[in-house]
Structure 1
Amino acid sequence: MNTPAVNKPKKVKVPRKQLILEALARELEQSPGARITTAALARAAGVSEAALYRHFASKAKMFEGLIGFAEEAVFARINQIMEEEKESRVRCGSVLYLLLAFCDRNPGITRVLMGDALMGENERLHARVEQFFSRLETQLKQILREARLRERQASVVSPELGAGLMMALLEGRLHQFLRTRFRTSPLEQWEAQWRLIEPRLFPA
């Protein structure tokens, strides 16, 4: 009796560009504080340096790829939060938790977002990262403005002051994450800290 043929699931082929970006993020995570050379990255990705440059014109383009991934992942989810959550305090807490959790899962990309991995790199990259955080702060300001108008919470702090405070707390947690070589998670005691700051931003 013949055994019926079983169709084996096809392996999904990951694009080479994605493999290179994953290797770069991994190298940044495994070598905190170190500068990543193209030679080291090529070894980690299992390709030649020439192959790297066939997919990316420069190392700056590779960093831009990681920043682009962060932008897409974070801001797509923020759009979902804005659709799903109607209460401003919940929106702010969810947005902050989102970025902290993203960075906790992606230490290598955190080095890029905080500028640690961009020392000596093209100024264009620093501007792109600055734009990332400016966009995030603008979103928080908008939430606070809506809290005053839509929810009629006149006691809510000014959008500029409140968003600035949240960004300072957020970036402080991420700098601590880097300083401790990823040993202290940006989510450690976050919920307790948010419970302390939330009533100041949204007084009852």
Structure 2
Amino acid sequence: MASTPPGQRRQQILVALAEMLEQPKGEKITTAALARKLEFSEAALYRHFASKAQMFEGLIDFIEASVFGVINQIMEKQASGVAQVRDIISMLLQFSASNPGMTRVLTGDALVGEDERLQQRMNQLHERIELALRQALRLATTEGYGHEDDISARAAVLLAYVIGRWHRYAKSGFKLDPSHDTALHIALLL
């Protein structure tokens, strides 16, 4: 039987970690529990990741690449600023619905008690999302929507809405779809 290539083993570890984060109870994940789930030793985990924090960083890297890859596509393809805002928010909520374990990382719940720099990275991710929303709203003002003075406040409210939906989804044990009624909510917010 051939051994698993290192990159594939790293991916298996991250997938298992994300699956463990999908558990509604949201208990703290230990490397021992992760190793048991994967059916190999903790030492094997540490051959691929120097620490549990590095495992979470791998999940954050995935989130950043996924989310900002799509945001960039939206901004390139959508000519309308309002459509960009709508599509970005919809995508963020759909990403959460499709990736419950990642939602606990996005809200910071999974990072409580972990290395502080992980929460700082999530804060930076939120700031980057807010920046993308500000850019889209700035474009919307050139189309006659809203006022230049409102852009920062609107972007902050929209981000707070998204984060609130993520939290509600996680706190419901992943039962309340965060993307439910998104179009109506966005229309009310805009």
TM-score by length of 1: 0.86
> Match for residue 108 of structure 2?
115
Give ranges in structure 1 of 5+ residues lacking alignment.
1-11, 199-204
Which of 147, 151, 172 aligns to 1:159? It is: 151
Give ranges in structure 2 of 5+ residues lacking alignment.
none
CA distance in 2, matches of 1:86, 1:103: 25
Moved more, 30-39 or 153-162: 153-162
> Match for residue 25 of structure 2?
32
Matches within 5 A, 1:127-166: 127-149=120-142, 151-153=143-145, 155=147, 158-166=150-158
CA distance in 1, matches of 2:173, 2:24: 9
RMSD: 1.8
Which of 28, 39, 52 aligns to 2:45? It is: 52
> Match for residue 119 of structure 2?
126
TM-fit CA distance, 1:73:
0.4
Which of 165, 168, 173 aligns to 2:160? It is: 168
Q: Does 1:179 align with 2:171?
A: yes
CA distance in 1, matches of 2:24, 2:187: 34
Greater percentage in helix: 2
TM-fit CA distance, 1:55:
0.3
- Identity percentage of aligned residues: 46
Higher radius of gyration, 1 or 2: 1
> Match for residue 12 of structure 2?
19
Displaced runs of 4+ in structure 1, greater than 3 A? 152-157
TM-fit CA distance, 1:154:
5.6
> Which residue identity lines up with residue 166 of structure 2 in the other structure?
L
* Relative contact order, higher structure (CA 8 A, sep 6+): 2
> Which residue identity lines up with residue 44 of structure 1 in the other structure?
K
Match of 1:30, SS state, is coil
Residues 38-59 of structure 1 deviation map (CA, whole Å, 9 limit, x = unaligned): 1110111222111100000000
TM-score by length of 2: 0.92
> Match for residue 192 of structure 1?
184
CA distance in 2, matches of 1:32, 1:79: 34
> Match for residue 62 of structure 1?
55
